[in-house]
Structure 1
Amino acid sequence: MRIGLLALALGVVTLAASACGDQTAQTTPGGSGSDDSQLEGRTFLSSSVMSNGKPYPLVSGTQISLWFPEDGRLVANAGCNTIGGEKVQLSDGKLSASGLGMTEMGCDAPRHKQDEWLVGVLEAGPTWKLNEATLTLTSGETVLTLVDKKVAQPDLPIEGTKWAVSTIYTGDVASNTAGMDKAFLVFADGKVTGSTGCNRLNGTATISGSEITFGPIATTKMGCADPLMQVEKSVLLALEGTVPFSIDSSALTLNHPKGANGLGLTGTAQ
């Protein structure tokens, strides 16, 4: 399956969260930050939803997410479509996000209804309060409690995690190929080991900050069916030279500086 990167980006909420002490909806006394700055650049995931004093059941397997990009927008997801709008207002402890738009992915009826419910909650102008990593939105009898994603789903360490390939980026296209998850990488002690999906691989991999510098990568020489050989080619191209990387929870992205070869990987602790 091949997906345009713009569409992929709409479906995935990924960014780094900033550290925060005890804060409320008001500007920190004596500080220069605004209401907006307390949420800016952070993603929050629902931990509970209450309505009329009782738990409000979300569709099985779904979770509410709210992302406050640094450009002042609000991006939300209730399990299917991505909800977003222009500048969100957060002054006086109130969240104002009228005129929200939504993508048009096909959803089953329960998730579509849940999308509409969340839009209604956000457009109603809920009050908000931030206490350390916990964000609470209150709209009438609805209370939505969310936790900073960096607390709810901490980033896996780059080293010692098994990273299975889930996406291959070629230019502006993201591809998913059957058997791709057979390819994986493990970083430890200045080295990378793993599999191309066909052959075993190993080589040097020096991690510095948010970059990995790869040395020559050696592989075994087995032959495989063409789809896996194409995966192998893409994996090896992505492991050349100095490559920026980013981690969001259990997702690792290798952003090759050439812009033509990149990998998305999903991690599991070993």
Structure 2
Amino acid sequence: MSYRVLVAALAAALLATGCSGTSTGGGGGEVKGKVFRSAFVTEQGKPRALVEGTNIELRFTDDGRLLASAGCNQMQGPVSLDGGKIAVPDLGMTAMGCPSPELHTQDEWLSKLLRASPSWRMDGTNLVVTGSNAEIVLGPEAPATLEGGTWKLASLIQADSVSSTPAGVEATIKFENGKLDAKTGCNDAFGTYKVDGSTITFELGHTEKSCEPDKMAVEKVVLETLKGQVTYKIDRNNLTLTTTKGDGIGLSK
């Protein structure tokens, strides 16, 4: 082979590699702080069906931990992503009773795969995890946005304590193009909001009917939160609104 032909062949190979969109896992910067959910699973070269209504979820935290789920129990532990390997030597798992044997089997399958230090790589925006006889292709989870859809009240935050909403009490908030529509647990609230960085400023009005004590108690916290300026934070499908006093509410989609 002539020198020119050899150089041309090497250039073509390098160009093909650069355009493939696939990168071998390195130190993990590509996945830290992100959540991935399974799109396709194979075992021994054939599709592996997951239990209906479940998926495999891998969350790589900014502080170096892996949180994993296959539909029932939660797994977690410190993770190393060096050398294109997912190493979780101290992977722990909750011992919650699963509704079906199939869910338990699926948990054990994922736990065994992760404990065996599978390899990982990025294929575009997808994460590909490959074990000795199985491969999982996972897509990135898009975090919820403030606008679009309805947020449902999940918790009440008062000082340094968090409590769930009383049974039978429901409250929702919908943000849309600067206008807010809310069910506060008893009454309806409506008005405007303005987002500036990580803060939201509200101007609201609301109806004033009386309800049961539990509903009125929830409404008081909600209305106090939706007054003036608050700090907001979105973590995956969870929204936290916090007042300058440290009180607030937690919502989810």
Task: Please state which band the TM-score falls in when normalised by the shorter chain.
Answer: 0.7 to 0.9
TM-score normalised by structure 1 residue count: 0.77
Tell me the equivalent position of 2:144: 155
Deviations 1:226-260 (A, max 9, x none): 22112211211221332222334544332344333
Select between 166-175 and 136-145 the one with higher mean Cα deviation: 166-175
Tell me the equivalent position of 2:211: 224
Tell me the equivalent position of 1:172: 161
Inter-partner Cα distance in structure 1 for 2:23 and 2:68: 21
Inter-partner Cα distance in structure 2 for 1:50 and 1:256: 48
- 2:48 aligned with 1:56, yes or no? yes
- SS of residue paired to 2:53: coil
Tell me the equivalent position of 2:184: 196
Report the number of matched residues.
Answer: 232
Structure 2 portions without partners, runs of 5+: 1-19
- SS of residue paired to 1:135: strand
Alpha carbons of structure 1 residues 78 and 47: separation in structure 2 relative to 1, 3 Å: same
Alpha carbons of structure 1 residues 80 and 220: separation in structure 2 relative to 1, 3 Å: same
TM-score normalised by structure 2 residue count: 0.82
Inter-partner Cα distance in structure 1 for 2:183 and 2:25: 51
> How many percent identity over aligned positions?
38
Contact 2:36/2:138 (<8 A) preserved: yes
- SS of residue paired to 1:159: coil
Deviations 1:56-91 (A, max 9, x none): 2222221111111111121111112221112x2222
Tell me the equivalent position of 2:201: 213
Inter-partner Cα distance in structure 1 for 2:252 and 2:112: 35
Contact 2:194/2:202 (<8 A) preserved: yes
Deviations 1:160-194 (A, max 9, x none): 5332323333443230323333x222223434232
- SS of residue paired to 2:233: strand
Tell me the equivalent position of 1:24: 23
Tell me the equivalent position of 1:14: none
Which amino acid in the other structure matches residue 98 of structure 2?
Answer: C
- SS of residue paired to 1:179: coil
CA RMSD of aligned residues (A): 2.3
Deviations 1:11-49 (A, max 9, x none): xxxxxxxxxx9451255xxxxxxx221211111111111
Structure 1 portions without partners, runs of 5+: 1-20, 28-34
Select between 185-194 and 136-145 the one with higher mean Cα deviation: 185-194
